[in-house]
Each structure stands twice: as structure tokens, then as C-alpha cells.
Structure 1
Amino acid sequence: MTPPTCPEALIVMGREVFEAQFDESRLERLKAMASLPEPIWTDELTSEQIRTRLSGVEVLLTGWDAPVLDAAALARMPNLRLMIHCAGTIRPFVSEAFWERGIRACNVADVNAIPVAEYTLAAVIMSGKAAPFLGASLRAFRDDWTRPDRFGRLGNVSRTVGVVGFSRVGRRVVAALQQLQDVTVLVYDPYADPLEVAQAGGVPASLDELLATVDVLSLHAPELPETRHMIGAAQLAALRDHATLINTARGSLVDTAALERECASGRLNAILDVTDPEPLPASSVLYDLSNVLITPHIAGSLGTELYRMTDAALDELERYTTGLPLTTELDSEEYLRLSA
């Protein structure tokens, strides 16, 4: 079947997200490929004006803060054939009804994996110098220049890094870590192909083997019921003294109370871009510890990086309108496996 040359499209995402991702040049590119009646953007699917607009929509360009595409919303879009998600995971936005309708879904989350992997590589390198922890200590005590190794052995040569989750981000992190000298990268992921792990430069390992060996533990697993607190008190206790936990995936992967105890004792260090809950309550001891760096969920695409995601989504729309295969299409089974 030959796809239409100019499908009717609608952008569905939060207002701030829309303004950050679609500048004039990208809107012009979209208008050159698709019919775009007013309104061209919405963050809701229930008002009378939008209900009328939805009746002709064939392609949705979705993003962060989009409403859920449940059965009621989909009933207003009888002509919907394709959703292209201009952000990370589609998990919060799709429903069983979406897959039952046979709507195609594209997700440019692999582009969003780029800055997360870059952040993680930087975190690994900075943890090797204990830079975030020594910097915090200097701010607190002003003249504390002695014993730079008090947060653990220093250096980025001959380190062992454990990667939990050979996801979009995880595999990029494994490959990026090959830049370090004599690095050993252990990978735990029960669903990963061992050959693919090896080709990226990693060594497949069980979780127990990994925890007992690593200097740095970096988390890249999906947020699922079975992964909640996969790094709990027992797993944290299995880590070497002064190991650093890096979490750029989801806060729920870690038992926060157990991590608070380990970091407060000084035994473990942490670099956390995500927490559970998010944000942490003001009473959390993690805010006050020199051996913990917390950033406000910034590892993913921000600022100019957002345009890279929009461009990837528009590339997919161009392939759709010209009859070429889509390169980021997901099926329901793959959707259930993938990380954020």
C-alpha cells in the first residue's frame, strides 16, 4: 500500500516541550511534508475544538507531557495510522487499545540515549578522580586539601565498571568506556545477546559477579515491577568499599533508604541523576553528604539537544511519506522490553 504523500498531522505534547522542540525552521519542514490545519499543537485531547481536529489526523508527533492515548482518545482519531514519539520512552502514553488498533509507533529514544551516555561517561571519569566528592568537601570545609584518596582509590586506569542493563543507553556506555585505558566493563542483562555485549567491548556477567568486582556500578535497566529495588540492601552491601553508584535510569531501581545508609557511613559514593522519590524529600541525608552528587534529572536531552530528537522524528515522517521503511518502529513486545 502506498502511503499518502501529505498526511494530516498534529503535534501532541506539553506547551514548553513544543516551544523547545519546534522552532520556525522545523515547523516549516513539517508543513512541507504534512497537512497541518490549526491548531497545529495541543496538550489535551478532550476539548470540542480538538475533538473536531482529531477526526482527520493520520500522524501524531508526540512528546513529553502528552496525554495518554487510551481507548477514549483513540476513538476520536479513526484515521490515526502512525505515532512518532519525539522524546524518550512511549510507555506512559500508549495503552493496550493503541496496540489493538494496529497503529504503528516510532520512537526516537535512541537519539535521547546519546546525552545520557555522555553524562554517564563523564560521571565515570569524574568519579575516578573523586572530583564531585572532593569539590563538595572543599566547599564545606574550605581548607580540606589533604588525603584526596579518602573517597577511594583514584585514577581511571585499570578500573572495572559494571553496567546493569544493555539498553539503548547501556550499550552506548559500554562502547564509550573503551576510551579509558585498560578498562574492564562487566555487563549484566539477562536478555542481552552475549555476542553483542562482547562486540561493544563488554564482558557478560551475573549480577553477583558484577557487584563483587566493580569500582563503579552504572544502572541502565528499565523501570518495571520486577526491577524495582533490584539494587537493594544486599546488593549495595556486596559492593566494594568506596565503589560509586551511578544512576541515570530510574530512581526506583535502587532502595533509597539502603543507599542513604551506605553513603552516610562513607562506605559507598553515589552520582544520582534520578531518585526515588523524585525529587527526594528535603530531609534526605543524601543532600548533605560530600560523597553524593545529585543532579535534577538532566542527563537526557535538554536545550539544543532537543532539536536532535525533533530532527530524527521528522526524518521518520519523511520516510513514511515517501514509502521508505521506518527505522525506529516498535512492536508491542519490543515496547514492553525497552528502558526509558
Structure 2
Amino acid sequence: MTATTGDVWLPFPAAEVDGLPDCFRYRLWDGEERFPADPGPCVFYVTPYMKSPAVTLRPLAGMPAIRVVQTLTAGIDHVLPGVDALPSGVRLCNARGVHEASTAELSLTLILASLRGIPGMVRGQDREEWHSGFYEALADKSVLIVGYGSIGAAVEDRLEPFECRRITRVARSARSAPRGPVHALAELPRLLPDADVVVLCMPLTEESRGLAGAGFLGAMKDGALLVNVARGPVVDTGALLTELRSGRLRAALDVTDPEPLPAGHPLWHAPNLLITPHVGGSSSAFEPRAKRLVARQLTRFAAGEPVENTVLITD
């Protein structure tokens, strides 16, 4: 694949991205109502970040020359509904390498805050209450990472100094990894009862949708903590509410189903639950990594080299 001319749509000014090839016309579009130009000549589309699927997909139908769609997210589920409208041979690429640091940091934050009782302390501060007591440490805990891709590996990198008793890795299929074996999803019934903390990091697929349902949650040990930094529908919300209300499990969710969580939803006031508003990737670490990825991808594209992170190629 090669291109030495055509339009490239970017969600940030081209002047702010070091290393862009100069053979393209760069158009700035971050989801505004008005397009920056006719979408027809666009050959490379970098999707806006943190915009709705409707906004993201809107220009695609008018891009007959498109060759690459580059998301700035680890998951590509929000773009998949528009794939059928694309010409044959278009490469859809995700943002592997952009969100690992930020999402792994938040995973660790959610684990530590939940175990050490930070939400209750913050509420106590608002009421001028002194919540001393005995709280749990991450040290000596068994952690199960479900979805051992680049984000799952980054989570393990940050868990390593905390003296965990065991870190167990799970992916769709079994394989070896630098830090040890990766178990298959089919082994979850055997692995879940041992885990004090379960971290969900997988993309949303038909296989992962509803994975953490009643059976999954029921297999977790009493008092275990479920952390979801994947996608909301990976967890069955009703089944989780049942476990939280019983007091048997705890949870920390950066993503929810539905999302954004509407006012009045029972998750807001569920016991034993910490919620953050899908901010795993949206930190100061995002922009420099996103810009480096875009520059690298466009340099490869202009030179006729294969782009990285290709998730699918349209028929």
C-alpha cells in the first residue's frame, strides 16, 4: 500500500505533529458539524477521539478513495458499524501503544483506592469524619488479568513492584509470555476462585460481551474485587448489581453498561463500588503517544510500507 498524494484528515493540527510526510494535504477535523473539505479525496482518516460513533462514522460514506482508517482508541467496536460502507482493501487500525501507560495507571489506581478504602475516606473528609481503621493492601494478593494484550501486560508491569502473591494471565487462547504462561479463557472457572483481584482488559467482541456474567461473578471468591477497564458490556450489569448488593463482591468500573451512566441508574449508589467516567486513556499521556503513532503510520503509508496495528481489511 502506498500513497504520495491525497487528503489526510487529522483531529489535531498537522503543525503540532512532528515527522509528518509533506506529500499529503492535511485537513483538521475533530468532529465538528462542518467538514473541513470534501471527504472524497481523503486517503487516510484519523478518527476524532472521545466522540460518538455517529460523529466518527459520518464522513466515511463520502470517502471513496479511503485506504486507511486509524482510530485513536484501543478498541474499534465504535467504528465497526461503518465498515460495510468502505471500499474493498481499506485497513482499519487501532491505537495499540497509545493507551497502555494511561490505562494501566488507572487500573492500579482503582485497585489501590478500592482496597485501601479511599472512596469512604473522601466522603468522610467532606463530612469532617476521621475514618481510621485497618485496610487491605495489594501486597500478598492474587491478581487475575483477563485480556492479556498490550494493556494487560502494561498492568502487570505496574503490579510487579507491589509484592503480589501471584499474577495470573488469561487471553483468548493459551500461549507463552515473557513473564510466564498465558491461560486460555476456557480455564477461567478454575482460575477465578483463587483471585483476590480480577482485572478486565479485553476488547469488546461477541465472545467477550457479557463474559463477566452471573457464572463468572459467582465463581469469584467472597470479598474479591472486580476491576473493569475494558468495555462496559463485558460485564453483565444486572448480575454485578446482585453481587454488590449482597456484599459478597466489590468492584471498580471505568466503563459501564449503559454508558455514559444516566442519572438515577442503580449503579451510582450500589454498595462496594467505585466508578470513574471512562478516563482510562484520556490523560496527559494520550496526546504525545497518539501524535507519534499518527506520524509513524503516515510515514509508512507514504513509503508504501505496511501500516501497523491493522485489525481488519475490508472485503
Aligned to 1:162: 144
**Which residue in the other structure is 2:98 paired with?**
111
CA contact (8 A) 1:171 1:200 kept: no
How many Å apart are 1:116 and its aligned residue? 0.9
What is the distance in 1 between the residues matched to 2:311 and 2:214? 35
> Which structure's CA Rg is the greater one?
1
Deviations 1:76-104 (A, max 9, x none): 43433233333333332244546761123
Match of 1:255 in 2: 236
Counterpart in 2 of 1:123? 110
Give the deviation of 1:113 after TM superposition.
2.7
Q: 1:24 Cα shift?
A: 4.0
Alignment CA distance shift 1:155-1:40 (3 Å): closer
Q: Would the alpha carbon gap of residues 231 and 302 (structure 1) be closer, same or farther in structure 2, given more than 3 Å must change?
A: same
More strand by share: 2
Work out whether 1:204 is the aligned partner of 2:180: no
Indicate the RMSD between aligned Cα atoms, in angstroms.
3.2
**Residue number in structure 1 paired with 2:77:** 91
The 2-side partners of 1:148 and 1:100 are apart by 60
Task: Report the number of matched residues.
Answer: 307
Flag the structure with higher helix content: 1
- Which residue pairs with 1:9 in the alignment? 7
What corresponds to 1:337 in structure 2?
A: none
C-alpha change, 1:84 and 1:257, in structure 2 (3 Å) is closer
Q: What secondary structure is seen at the aligned counterpart in 2 of 1:299?
A: coil
CA distance in 1, matches of 2:224, 2:30: 46
Q: Which moved more, 1:107-116 or 1:284-293?
A: 284-293
1:61 aligns with 2:46: yes
Q: Identical aligned pairs, as a percentage? A: 27
Correspondence for 1:189: 171
Q: Which runs of 5+ in 1 are unaligned?
A: 13-17, 334-340
TM-score when normalising by structure 2: 0.82
Question: What amino acid does structure 2 have at the position aligned with 1:156?
Answer: L
Helix, strand or coil at the partner of 1:246: strand
The answer as to whether partners of 1:174 and 1:202 remain within 8 angstroms in 2 is: no
Q: Kindly state the Cα deviation for residue 165 of structure 1 after the two structures are TM-superposed.
A: 1.4
Distance 2:130 2:145 in 1: 33
Describe the shift of the 1:241–1:252 C-alpha distance in structure 2 as closer, same or farther (beyond 3 A): same
Match of 1:15 in 2: none
- For 2:303 and 2:313, the matched residues in 1 are separated by 25
AA of the residue aligned to 2:160: Q
Q: Distance between the aligned counterparts of 1:29 and 1:189, measured in 2? A: 35
CA 1:127 to 1:268, structure 2 compared with 1: closer, same or farther past 3 Å?
A: same
Measured in 2, the distance between the counterparts of 1:132 and 1:290 equals 14
TM-score, length basis structure 1: 0.76
Runs of 4+ in 1 over 4 A off after TM superposition: 44-47, 139-142
Amino acid at match of 2:267: L
Residue 41 of structure 1 aligns with an amino acid whose one-letter code is W
- Residue 41 of structure 1 corresponds to 29
TM alignment of 1:1-340, pairs within 5 A: 3-4=2-3, 6-11=4-9, 18=11, 21-22=12-13, 24-26=15-17, 30=20, 32-36=21-25, 40-41=28-29, 43=31, 50=37, 53-64=38-49, 65=51, 66-68=55-57, 73=61, 76-94=62-80, 95-97=82-84, 101-128=88-115, 130-136=116-122, 138-139=124-125, 142-143=128-129, 145-149=131-135, 154-191=136-173, 193-196=174-177, 199-201=178-180, 204=183, 206-289=187-270, 291-303=272-284, 305-332=286-313
Deviation at 1:119, TM superposition (A): 1.1
- For residues 73 and 160 of structure 2, the distance between their equivalents in structure 1, rounded to whole angstroms, comes to 28
